[in-house]
């Protein structure tokens, strides 16, 4: 290969943003010549490496923008500790069919039983499979929508929260919503209805959602939309945090038991 060809090849690879190929090309061509690789094998290897690197970068970017508070995976989840959860149901959710079908997932149960863990783990599966996701606490979500409304950018904020393929709304019910907040959340849920999935976690049973919204009519309308296409996982069991404290021999009074 003469100098001109070499320079032009590298410059074209840069122009086409084939950075991985550009980086590995020289070394790989030497190895390929030594091992008498065919042209087809060389091209296949180079493009495969480029694709792998681009995929990994895209996953990293989506992971960052999902703002998961911590990293939790399905492999780390101890199903034996929480027998009220059917492992097959979680495995089915992990196929992400629910995202393709724009269905919702609701994880209900008392503190520490793994609701947020499973929500994050499913979110990470979604991101790895190429979907955009966003994790937010219910109260923060409402605060963000209220702030947007005050600043005259409510519609834009709504579009932001609607664009993610998967939205995870954590901790529905720890703090009740006021009328304005309940109204905004209803609008967001309506916007995403039958278009894209939401995973909710809540310590309150559906019967108590009227208290969260402080309005039984809105709560009923919200639940009607969420539950139309959804999977509910009702977790009944002991807190994993409590188990870990017990293991460490620490006795604490749990205020909510
Ligand atoms: N079955 C489990 N196997 C492994 N780790 C678990 C399990 N259940 C919970 N954990 C861990 O215990 C901690 C508490 O779980 P998590 O935050 O998911 O609880 P939660 O149900 O969301 O509780 P809260 O309602 O208080 O938010 C986390 O560190 C989580 O990773
Ligand atoms: Mg939680």
Give the residue-averaged pLDDT of 195-224. Answer: 95
Q: What is the dihedral of CA 77, 82, 84, 89, to 10 degrees?
A: 10
- Using a 6 Å cutoff on CB, does residue 173 contact ligand 1? no
Domain match, 57 and 87 both: no
- Using a 6 Å cutoff on CB, does residue 244 contact ligand 1? no
Q: Mean pLDDT across the chain, nearest whole number?
A: 94
Domain match, 29 and 83 both: no
- Using a 6 Å cutoff on CB, does residue 84 contact ligand 1? no
Domain match, 143 and 189 both: yes
Q: What is the model's pLDDT at position 257?
A: 41
SS3 178: coil
pTM of the predicted model as reported, rounded to 2 decimal places: 0.89
Give the residue-averaged pLDDT of 88-112. Answer: 98
Domain match, 60 and 114 both: no
Over residues 163-180, the pLDDT tens digits come to: 999 999 999 999 999 999
- Point out the ligand nearest to the CA of residue 118: 1
For the cut 50, the answer to whether the pLDDT of residue 256 exceeds it is no
Domain match, 191 and 132 both: yes
pLDDT band (50, 70, 90) for residue 247 = confident
The CATH number of the domain holding residue 167 is: 3.40.50.300
Distance CA 112, CA 244 (A): 11
Domain match, 120 and 173 both: yes
Domain match, 213 and 154 both: yes
Q: Which residues of 160-176 are buried (b: 16+ CB within 10 A; e: fewer)?
A: ebeebbbbbbbbbbeee
- Using a 6 Å cutoff on CB, does residue 6 contact ligand 1? no
Q: Considering 39, 65, 91, which residue would you say is the last residue of a domain?
A: 65
Domain match, 89 and 205 both: yes
- Closest CA relative to residue 145, chosen from 203, 189, 197: 189
> Is residue 257 a part of any domain in this protein?
no
Q: How many CB atoms lie within 10 A of CB 98?
A: 21
The boundaries of the domain holding residue 235 are: 67-247
Q: What is the model's pLDDT at position 248?
A: 76
Identify which of 79, 105, 114, 202 to mutate to test ligand 1's pocket (most ligand atoms within 8 A of the CB): 114
Q: What percent of the chain has pLDDT over 70?
A: 96
- Using a 6 Å cutoff on CB, does residue 206 contact ligand 1? no
C-alpha of residue 108 to centroid of ligand 1, in Å:
12
Domain match, 174 and 152 both: yes
Q: Considering 65, 93, 111, which residue would you say is the last residue of a domain?
A: 65
Domain match, 193 and 108 both: yes
Domain count, the chain: 2
Give the residue-averaged pLDDT of 20-43. Answer: 97
């Amino acid at each position: 290969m003469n100098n001109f060809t070499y320079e032009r090849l590298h410059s074209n690879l840069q122009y086409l943003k084939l950075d991985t190929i550009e980086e590995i090309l020289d070394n790989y061509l030497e190895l390929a010549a030594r091992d008498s690789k065919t042209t087809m094998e060389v091209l296949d290897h180079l493009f495969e490496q480029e694709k792998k690197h681009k995929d990994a970068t895209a996953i990293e970017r989506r992971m960052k923008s999902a703002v998961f508070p911590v990293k939790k995976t399905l492999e780390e989840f101890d199903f034996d500790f929480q027998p009220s959860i059917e492992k097959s149901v979680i495995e089915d959710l992990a196929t992400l069919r629910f995202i393709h079908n724009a269905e919702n997932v609701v994880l209900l149960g008392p503190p520490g039983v793994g609701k947020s863990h499973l929500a994050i783990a499913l979110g990470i599966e979604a991101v790895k499979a190429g979907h955009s996701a966003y994790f937010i606490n219910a109260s923060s979500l409402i605060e963000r929508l209220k702030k947007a409304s005050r600043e005259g950018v409510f519609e834009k904020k709504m579009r932001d929260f609607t664009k993610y393929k998967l939205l995870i709304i954590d901790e529905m019910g720890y703090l009740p919503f006021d009328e304005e907040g309940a109204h905004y959340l209803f609008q967001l849920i309506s916007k995403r209805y039958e278009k894209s999935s939401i995973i909710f976690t809540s310590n309150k049973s559906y019967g108590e959602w009227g208290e969260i919204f402080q309005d039984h009519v809105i709560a009923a309308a919200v639940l009607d939309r969420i539950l139309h296409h959804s999977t509910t996982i009702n977790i009944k069991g002991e807190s994993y945090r409590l188990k870990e404290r017990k293991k460490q021999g620490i006795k604490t009074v749990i205020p909510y038991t």
